[in-house]
Structure 1
Amino acid sequence: MTNTQDSVEQGLRLPRPLRRLVDVARNYWWTWTPDRLSVFRDMDPALWVSCEHNPVLMLRRISFLRLTQLSTDPWYLNQVENLVRNFDSYMKQKDTWASQMMAGYDLKRPVAYFSAEFGLDESLPTYSGGLGCLAGDHLKSASDLGVPLVAVGLLYRQGYFHQRLDSNNWQTEYYTNSNFNDLPITLMCDEAGEPYMVEVEIRSRLVKVQVWRVDVGRVQLYLLDTDREDNDAVDRWITAHLYGGNADTRISQEIVLGIAGLRMLRRMGIDPSVFHMNEGHAAFIILERLREEMGKGADLAHAGDIVRQSCVFTTHTPVPAGHDAFSPDLMDTFFSKYWPQLGVDRKTFLALGAKRVDDPWDNFNMTVLALRYSRTCNGVSEKHGEVSREMFQVLYPGKSVDEVPIGYITNGIHARSWISPLFWEMYDRYLGEQWEEHMSDPEVWARIERVPDEELWWKHEALRERLVAFTRHRVAMSRRGRNEPEEWVNAAQTSLLNPDILTIGFARRFSTYKRANLIIQDPDRALAIFSSETHPVQLILAGKAHPKDEEGKRLIQKVMDWARHPKLINRVAFVEDYDIYTARKLVQGVDVWLNNPRRPLEASGTSGEKVAFNGALNLSILDGWWIEGYNGKNGWAIGEEIEGHDIAAQDHFDAQSLYSILENEVIPMFYDRDEKGLPRTWIAWMKESIRTLAPQFNTDRMVAEYVCNIYAGACAVPSATRPVLTGAGFKADF
């Protein structure tokens, strides 16, 4: 089913001792193996950076001379042999968690996981932020646990935008084309060598869709692509940008994802047992499933019952704008020829996605469609489940808020992808043999007390120093790109930030509700905190505002204009073009992770979970996952919700709380050192954070909950062994 010619040609180009590197390079397993730093990077560190950490492109561009040198280096060949051995062992493993918990499950009928974005690695630009990283981590843990799962998404020619700040600190955007042949992906072809292709009708034209396969360990991700020469020029751009264009583009993309995605699985002979819609973008799966069942003779009610048993839905945001809704006129444009295939009229069709079914002007809401036709629905934290029940109570007349059938599974992170190699090696030595196979066992993480304070601290300091060096380099590049004076570029490389002082990180999408400017609500008080000579503090920021979000761009500008104060020039830095690579450096290197959205708009959040595995402490609003994780000795909680809905008063209250915590708790604790120069209380909090948060907020636990509580209707999980799960409280031993 795959076109392997490219792989063969690439393999033949390598000296014989290195040819198996092609197999590893074309499987994103390499992104979470501890060996990932050495084998590809050490080929040519400068080239590795210029190839944007893409091993396939690396193997294409590296000189044959260098390859022959490496093929005769015994130390390097030993590294390659170990990597290939580990890869083969992983891919052939049969005794997995899923093999025990899903005994009797029909492996020929996997779970199909649909998402508009997947964040696997910076080399594959199919993500924008948290939703994508969560989806990528879901696939990685599914692979680790051996869960039979395939995934479906879109392959974006230009991905999400790249970001620059101009001389006025205003965000500008630009796009670059990806060469799909240079990515670790494979065009899917039939036995005759022709690409697998399906058609969907969009704007009264038949659009041809092809599919590429991405190997994610033992899981296959299929990415749909309309950029074909036999498509209309407009239709070739459907899969050009992630979250770009207008409503026409968005609905076109979601038709491709849901309808063409299901047709492509059928075309390839894949018959899923469960369709998991990760956010409402994929909800058109339901229409296609209804069409299939009604084509077999079922009426709408009976077809709906059948479809409902095979579909599950996860909602990710309590922000109304995050739930796609299309006007009736737009639905007419795109679906007027589709609803006759369901045997229904326009009114009945539009009612499938309407909150108020008797309102002819109500928008067609993708979340509503998914809720109506899913066997189970869940939010991504306990609080988010509660908020979602309130938001959508209108769909369940006669039920109280508590009776609305929307549960929750709290998000986690794929620890193997986000733990720094330095900490991974430390965990290997102190947490016990094969600790990573028992990621959700609290007893494993209780062994963090075995780590000597001195060792934990020097490793953390080394990661902070690396973060400072990385930030200096990136800021210098940005200044050079703006044609700033060379002395200003050099200053970034030598004077910006200090590797020995308290470092706070803030990195996320610059939406207004995330309140990036809360830290500067009182500019003078903030100035006093960040310009102190006796207890110095520095701030590293990163993140993008959506191209159409003028207020979000203004937030970036306001914070960076404040940072131009002479006393802050070397204490505040902004890293442009936030991506997974930058995120890893930040979450692994900061001392404190700042998160201060408006309540209750943080559905879950996972960046703070990433820093916990790397020894940093969270300073956050009690919202999303942090409500479940905070215990008073593993980080700090900012403010509390005040009565009423006065946004300005709430912002003021939270800002004052933030300043007070920094001045009276965070900063004094960090600089309280013993005779050895160690902040003993701080280190104790680091260990408490790791001990309490790591076993809960990982995707091994999360995916296991999906298997046992969400996918279970199609799984042969014996009822006697099926745990009753309640969000992040699940403590099963993997």
Structure 2
Amino acid sequence: MDFLDRAVQRTRFAYFSMEIALRAEMHTYSGGLGVLAGDSARSAADLDLPMVFVTLVSRQGYARQEIDNSHAQVSHADPWSPQDFATALPQMVAVSIEGRAVWVRPWLYALECQLGHVIPVLLLDTDLAENAVEDRRITDALYGGDQAYRLKQEIVLGVGGQSVLRALGFRIEKYHLNEGHAALLTLPLLKGTRRPDGVHASDPIDSYDVSAVRKRCVFTTHTPVEAGFDKFDYDLVERVLGDYIERDILAHLAGADQLNMTHLALNLSGYVNGVARRHAETTRKLFPGYTIASITNGVHVHRWTHGAIARLFEQQFSNWAHEPEVLAFADQIGDNALWSAHGDAKHDLLARIAQATGRQLRPDLPLIGYARRMTAYKRPELIFSDMERLREIANAQPFQIVLAGLAHPNDGGGQEAIRALGAHIDALEGTIPAVFMPGYNLDVAAALVAGCDVWLNTPLPPLEASGTSGMKAALNGALNLSVLDGWWIEGCVESVTGWSIPSNGAEASDAGALYDKLRAVVLPLYHGDRGRWIWMMKQAISKIGSSFNSHRMMRRYVTEAYLR
């Protein structure tokens, strides 16, 4: 506990996130939002930032994926044991939910970096004997249950997380809300600014010092469409949250018709940012009148670089993991050394594919990878839009495809996409070797981004807020082939760091543009000019790895958001 005592004394900034990806065995994440939070924490540790991270324990995880014989996703609970990785702290706090006192206990996970610095991560848990049976389940399932369940979770995260920090003695100067799920943390801050009862304001909101709350909160939004924001009916809010804050105050800050968590965060945060330049532009159109800055996401270089590639970096510049900017000089790595290291990463991926699927792919053929959350706007089936044309391309210039990804158990469209991908794979048998990797998690993702030759991304613009998988692939020398959306608008130097897929949003024309680029540019280069391909690999590492990393991202948050 000496570590926690030191952390309490020095910590100034708190980062709240519904999910965080710390390690594959801790099922406290579902996708990109949690992976970003985990990379943020790793960089905070590397940079020895005075930070604490707060999330839910999510004892039953998100979903463990199985693919059945009909290619359908079967979702299972994915439980894990906090005591195997974290320490239960004795301090407990109570929050009021549906008029009951719900006790919250934090687990402490000590995230230690290679330099020896340690960052505290607090995992909030309601599975306590002091709680009613239904309340013990609040921190079980990540993004599970109905609206009431989600609201209870967000009360535990925001209101409970605030109380836990105070109980442990943390004195927080700035709170970082990673998406709107954490917006309720602003309410305890707001309550703390209420003016004395004797002061009567003409407008109820003037009874609170909103500006004081805004000075203490930073909000990062990741959602580029209104439909993606968490919203709760006020009748539900009154039933679950009670009279914690007057309804007219909530309506003023979070929306007249429903409690919109994004609106609440916008109105009570002094610094708001999108996660890529294009995303910030989209967000400004969604919320005219608000000042929306832009800090493009990044990835943790040491976490996502394959060991063989990392050893090359270590030989060339030993400080690369702490100072990723030096990767700008990665274009000086020898061609043979880089190609050999990539071959090791590809071999490891092919071995993992063979073990998981029984299919043995070839190391000498280009491998196109696509792996991400399975949902409609990401258009996972785009490459299969015209099967005859795909076969014609492959007959002339052979290639292979590996796919992976997890659909939310309640996302019918995402589940159907996985079934359809399985059917496409069957239909291509004998022409294009293709596999779907089941059980998508952090370790599978790391193997995929390191071992593929081409990293494919086909979202419907402008719905990709940022995306980070392509950054991870580029660290390992994989070349991005992507629609110009999210971060790729900033990272794409055509035929240098990868390739763009022209998009007008229509599936047929976007698929045609993808096929044209594969047939005329990507595959001829791989098969016919190995030297130029390796040159592009080095350009991708040096230009993308040196810029799109979480160290750069966290330094910007500190200087532009936390210290302002």
Smaller-chain TM-score bracket: over 0.9
Show CA shifts across 1:532-588 (max 9, x none).
3x5321111110111111111111111210111263587111111210000010011
Distance 1:568 1:601, change over 3 A: farther
Secondary structure at the counterpart of residue 74 of structure 2 = strand
How is 1:260-275 mapped onto 2 (pairs within 5 angstroms)?
260-275=160-175
Question: Which of residues 651, 658, 661 is equivalent to 2:507?
Answer: 651
Q: What code does the residue aligned with 2:106 have?
A: V
The reply to whether residue 503 of structure 1 matches residue 409 of structure 2 is: no
How is 1:61-460 mapped onto 2 (pairs within 5 angstroms)?
108-182=10-84, 184-188=85-89, 195-217=90-112, 218-294=118-194, 300-301=205-206, 302-339=208-245, 344=246, 346-354=247-255, 357=256, 362-393=257-288, 396=289, 404-430=290-316, 432-440=317-325, 444-460=326-342
Q: What code does the residue aligned with 1:524 have?
A: E
How is 1:466-485 mapped onto 2 (pairs within 5 angstroms)?
466-476=348-358
Secondary structure at the counterpart of residue 153 of structure 1 = strand
How far, CA to CA, are the matches of 2:553 and 2:121 in structure 1? 19
How is 1:586-605 mapped onto 2 (pairs within 5 angstroms)?
586-605=448-467
How far, CA to CA, are the matches of 1:3 and 1:461 in structure 2? 41
The percentage of counterpart residues that share the same residue type is: 39
Q: What code does the residue aligned with 1:670 have?
A: Y
How far, CA to CA, are the matches of 1:293 and 1:411 in structure 2? 33
Q: How much does 1:2 deviate?
A: 8.0
Q: How much does 1:385 deviate?
A: 0.5
Tell me how many residue pairs correspond in the alignment.
550
How is 1:30-49 mapped onto 2 (pairs within 5 angstroms)?
none
Q: How much does 1:368 deviate?
A: 0.3
In structure 2, the gaps of 5 or more residues are 113-117
- Name 1:726's counterpart in structure 2: none
How far, CA to CA, are the matches of 1:583 and 1:269 in structure 2? 37
Distance 1:295 1:475, change over 3 A: farther
How far, CA to CA, are the matches of 1:545 and 1:303 in structure 2? 42
How far, CA to CA, are the matches of 2:125 and 2:362 in structure 1? 46
Q: How much does 1:374 deviate?
A: 0.5
How far, CA to CA, are the matches of 1:471 and 1:590 in structure 2? 12
Distance 1:570 1:520, change over 3 A: closer
Show CA shifts across 1:586-643 (max 9, x none).
01100000000000111100000001110100000111100001111110100133xx
Secondary structure at the counterpart of residue 278 of structure 2 = helix
Q: How much does 1:351 deviate?
A: 2.6
The reply to whether residue 691 of structure 1 matches residue 542 of structure 2 is: yes
Q: What code does the residue aligned with 1:386 have?
A: E
Contact 2:399 2:432 in 1 (8 A): no
Secondary structure at the counterpart of residue 313 of structure 2 = helix
Contact 2:391 2:432 in 1 (8 A): no
- Name 1:59's counterpart in structure 2: none
What's the Cα RMSD here?
1.9
How far, CA to CA, are the matches of 1:251 and 1:529 in structure 2? 50
Contact 1:2 1:186 in 2 (8 A): no
Show CA shifts across 1:160-205 (max 9, x none).
11111222111111114322222x21111xxxxxx21111111221
Contact 2:371 2:405 in 1 (8 A): yes
Contact 2:93 2:163 in 1 (8 A): yes
Q: What code does the residue aligned with 1:699 have?
A: S
Distance 1:653 1:294, change over 3 A: same
Show CA shifts across 1:280-299 (max 9, x none).
00000111111122277787
Task: Find the structure with the greater CA-based Rg.
Answer: 1
- Name 1:84's counterpart in structure 2: none
Secondary structure at the counterpart of residue 669 of structure 1 = helix
Q: What code does the residue aligned with 2:464 have?
A: E
Distance 1:682 1:352, change over 3 A: same
Q: What code does the residue aligned with 2:303 have?
A: S
- Name 2:473's counterpart in structure 1: 611
Show CA shifts across 1:117-146 (max 9, x none).
111110211001111010011011111111
- Name 1:707's counterpart in structure 2: 558
TM-score if structure 2 supplies the norm length?
0.94
The reply to whether residue 680 of structure 1 matches residue 531 of structure 2 is: yes
In structure 1, the gaps of 5 or more residues are 5-91, 93-105, 189-194, 397-403, 477-491, 642-646, 674-678, 714-734
Q: What code does the residue aligned with 1:682 have?
A: W
Q: How much does 1:517 deviate?
A: 0.7
Distance 1:3 1:156, change over 3 A: farther
- Name 1:676's counterpart in structure 2: none
Q: What code does the residue aligned with 2:136 have?
A: R
Secondary structure at the counterpart of residue 587 of structure 1 = helix
TM-score if structure 1 supplies the norm length?
0.73
Q: How much does 1:236 deviate?
A: 0.9
How far, CA to CA, are the matches of 1:109 and 1:157 in structure 2? 27
How far, CA to CA, are the matches of 2:328 and 2:160 in structure 1? 48
The reply to whether residue 526 of structure 1 matches residue 390 of structure 2 is: yes
Contact 1:107 1:148 in 2 (8 A): no
- Name 1:76's counterpart in structure 2: none
Q: Structure 1 or 2: larger strand share?
A: 2
Q: How much does 1:334 deviate?
A: 1.7
How far, CA to CA, are the matches of 2:11 and 2:344 in structure 1? 47
Contact 1:497 1:570 in 2 (8 A): no
Question: Which of residues 435, 440, 446 is equivalent to 1:584?
Answer: 446
Show CA shifts across 1:77-118 (max 9, x none).
xxxxxxxxxxxxxxx9xxxxxxxxxxxxx9645101000011
Secondary structure at the counterpart of residue 140 of structure 1 = helix
Contact 1:3 1:187 in 2 (8 A): no
Secondary structure at the counterpart of residue 223 of structure 1 = strand
Contact 1:3 1:186 in 2 (8 A): no
Contact 2:97 2:242 in 1 (8 A): no
How far, CA to CA, are the matches of 1:539 and 1:163 in structure 2? 20
